[in-house]
Amino acid sequence: MNQSKSHLKLRALCEGAIFVALSFVLSMLPVGKMPQGGSFDLAMLPLLVFCVRWGFGPAMLASTVYGILQMFYEGGIAIGWQSIIGDFIVAYAVLGVAGLFSKNKYGFFIGTVVACCARFLVHYVVGATVWAEYMPETFFNMTMTSPWIYSALYNGSYMLVDMVIILVIGALVWKPLGKYLRGEDLKKA
């Protein structure tokens, strides 16, 4: 292995640790929290930036590590092993799919949408199956008769807001920091 590849692997590991830590800190500063888990925050932003900068492999590793950290931090917002695996490990690991768009000029935006949709789908299925018995009679002033509809509304409400906020922030910093969002600085290293 030459010096450059070794340097890049070390840099990916260090950046991954920093971005996961930053995501973890941002998750502790929610703007709002949902009653059965989920929150409005910027926690996914650093993780998605890392994913798109470094590509699929490092992205999946960092996202899975973040999911495991969240599992331990959140504590009681799980109702069994299915919820632990689904709502934490798998739901955050799928954010790594953003890394598939690392070579695309607009990979940050495409990756953010795809990763957020993938995370929503995991929460949606877990919510409609594992959390179904906790469905309230009304939600958003609508009578709930199907756990699938409830799960879509519940999980979509915070996931959509988070995704839009991340896309807006990405658009605001695109011009001054775009080369970092695209990982162009790594090509010169």
pLDDT in tens, 176-187: 988 888 888 887
Residue 61 in this model has a pLDDT that exceeds 90: yes
Q: How far is CA 120 from each of CA 6, 115, 183, rounded to the nearest angstrom?
A: 36, 9, 26
Residue 84 pLDDT: 86
- Two structure tokens written together for 73: 């931090």
Residue 100 pLDDT: 97
The string of DSSP codes covering 48-112 is HHHHHHH-HHHHHHHHHHHHHHHHHHH-SS--SHHHHIIIIIIHHHGGGGGGGGTTSTTHHHHHH
- Report the percentage of the chain scoring pLDDT > 90: 62
Residue 76 in this model has a pLDDT that exceeds 70: no
| Lowest-confidence pick of 28-42, 105-119, 124-138 | 28-42
d(CA 46, CA 20): 7
- Helix, strand, or coil here: 151? helix
Mean pLDDT of 113-130: 96
Mean pLDDT of 154-179: 93
Angle (CA) 113-83-34 rounded to 5° is 60
Q: Contact, 78 vs 94, CB < 8 A?
A: no
Residue 52 in this model has a pLDDT that exceeds 90: yes
d(CA 46, CA 139): 32
Residue 37 in this model has a pLDDT that exceeds 70: no
Mean pLDDT of 110-129: 96
Mean pLDDT of 67-94: 84
Mean pLDDT of the chain: 90
Residue 105 in this model has a pLDDT that exceeds 60: yes
The answer, as to whether pTM is greater than 0.85, is: yes
Residue 184 pLDDT: 86
Q: How confident is the model at residue 128 (pLDDT cuts 50, 70, 90)?
A: very high
- Burial of residue 14 (CB within 10 Å: 0-12, 13-18, 19+) is exposed
Q: How confident is the model at residue 125 (pLDDT cuts 50, 70, 90)?
A: very high
